[in-house]
Amino acid sequence: MKILFFDTKNYDRESFTRELAGQPDIEVKFLKTELAPVTARLAQGYDAVCAFVNADISRETIEVLHSCNVKLILLRCAGFNNVDLAAAADCGIRIFRVPGYSPEAVAEHAMALALGVNRHLHKAYVKVRENDFSLSSLMGINFHRKTAGIVGTGKIGAAMARICHGFGMKVIAYDVYQNPELKNFTTYVSLDELLATSDLISLHCPLTDSTYHMISTENIRKMKDGVILVNTSRGALVKTDDLIEGIRAHKFFGVGLDVYEEERPNVFEDRSDEILEHSVTARLLSFLNVMITSHQGFFTREALSAIARTTLENVRTFKHDDSSPNEVK
């Protein structure tokens, strides 16, 4: 089995090389370049490709992979909104993902963002480094006894619900399905009720047609004044122009974003010597109550090991022509 890895960084190469030890039947090559229509041709001679969250796995890419005789696309991430599933089915290419490598990693990062914007840690860090020990503009709120609204209570949302419960928060949730694991401490409500009553809103549902721009002006208006909004799920759940309008209208106490609509060219790249071309991102960065991180929710040692392990399990499932809940259809 020959697998071509796209868009790899040192940490990917290390975690996969560790997990591949003792598996001589799997031959891999690591590339730094991203998977896209123009790079897909590099997969000639490989059985499978392995790609990450922002790869362009459109019909065009899939058709090139198909012409190279690739039979398997391994996503080393949970989300698959970047894959044209119909095109993959048309070409007979199977898609596997890593659905729950470490929900706690992402949920802990969501809480870190919530705490960060609440207690202004980004400002405090800079102030103290500059010998400014005053507390001006650093006041936060207690999370204890406040209401956390979790949108999407799958693996990550459930982990976030448990964390919020541990903080002594009242936990409410909205999902199209109810998660029985949360029944002892979570009350399911309508999205409107969640928006109207939460002090902290954390988004954990996938990007689909039904969730695209679910946070828009209409829904922002329904939120409590002074709410904290955190998005560690997918950027396009939030309509950024409307979010900016809401921030300018002082709707939010703080906003923590690990994902945002224009992240694609930035994610995991050092662009510190370039001028930022995207005005929307630049505007978001200009607000002192907004903290943005670059899609790092998943990025813990434990999660990287689990991603490599599950990806190689997916290879074995494919080789044995077995079925698996990790397959995306």
DSSP-derived secondary structure letter, 274: S
Query: Please, which contacts does 78-85 make with residues 24 or more away whose CB atoms are closer than 8 Å?
Result: 78/298, 79/53, 79/206, 79/207, 79/234, 80/328, 81/206, 81/207, 81/208, 81/234, 82/53, 82/54, 82/55, 82/56, 82/57, 83/57, 83/328, 84/57, 84/58, 84/59, 85/328, 85/329
Cβ proximity to ligand NAI, 208 vs 286, nearer residue: 208
Q: Is 12 in the site for ligand NAI (CB under 6 A)?
A: no
Q: Is 295 a catalytic residue?
A: yes
**Annotated catalytic residue, options 295, 301, 309, 327:** 295
Q: Which of 255, 298, 306, 307 touches ligand NAI by CB under 6 A?
A: 298
For 223-239, give the DSSP string.
Answer: SPTTEEEEE-S-GGGB-
Q: Which of 156, 201, 215, 238 touches ligand NAI by CB under 6 A?
A: 156
What gap in Å lies between CA 236 and CA 206, rounded to an integer? 10
Q: Please state the closest distance from residue 130 (CB atom) to ligand NAI, in A.
A: 31
**Annotated catalytic residue, options 19, 162, 234, 261:** 234
Q: Is 153 in the site for ligand NAI (CB under 6 A)?
A: yes
What gap in Å lies between CA 304 and CA 237, rounded to an integer? 25
Query: Pairing mode, if any, of strands 94-96 and 327-328?
Result: antiparallel
Give how far the C-alpha of residue 16 lies from the chain's centroid of Cα atoms, to the nearest Å.
Answer: 21
Q: Is 261 in the site for ligand NAI (CB under 6 A)?
A: no
Q: Please state the closest distance from residue 1 (CB atom) to ligand NAI, in A.
A: 26
Q: Is 140 in the site for ligand NAI (CB under 6 A)?
A: no
Count of residues in contact with ligand NAI, rule CB under 6 A: 32
Q: Which of 55, 75, 106, 227 touches ligand NAI by CB under 6 A?
A: 106
What gap in Å lies between CA 72 and CA 92, rounded to an integer? 9
Cβ proximity to ligand NAI, 19 vs 104, nearer residue: 104
Please give the residues from 20 up to 79 whose contact with ligand NAI meets the rule CB under 6 A.
78-79
DSSP-derived secondary structure letter, 34: P
In the bound complex, which residue of the shown chain has the CB atom lying closest to ligand NAI? 154
Q: Is 232 in the site for ligand NAI (CB under 6 A)?
A: yes
What x/- string results for residues 168 through 197 when contact with ligand NAI is judged by CB under 6 A? ------xxxx--------------------
Q: Which of 5, 62, 295, 326 touches ligand NAI by CB under 6 A?
A: 295
Q: Which of 54, 186, 233, 311 touches ligand NAI by CB under 6 A?
A: 233
Q: Please state the closest distance from residue 96 (CB atom) to ligand NAI, in A.
A: 15
Q: Which of 164, 137, 136 is nearest to 149 (CA)?
A: 164
Q: Where are the alpha helices (DSSP H) in the chain?
A: 10-20, 59-67, 85-91, 103-118, 121-129, 155-166, 191-197, 217-222, 240-248, 279-285, 301-319
Query: Residue 291: in which H helix or E strand, if any?
Result: strand 290-292
Q: Which of 4, 8, 82, 152 touches ligand NAI by CB under 6 A?
A: 152
Residues with active-site annotation: 234, 263, 295
| Residue ranges that bind ligand NAI, judged by CB under 6 A | 78-79, 99-100, 103, 106, 151-157, 174-177, 204-208, 210-211, 232-234, 258-259, 295, 297-298
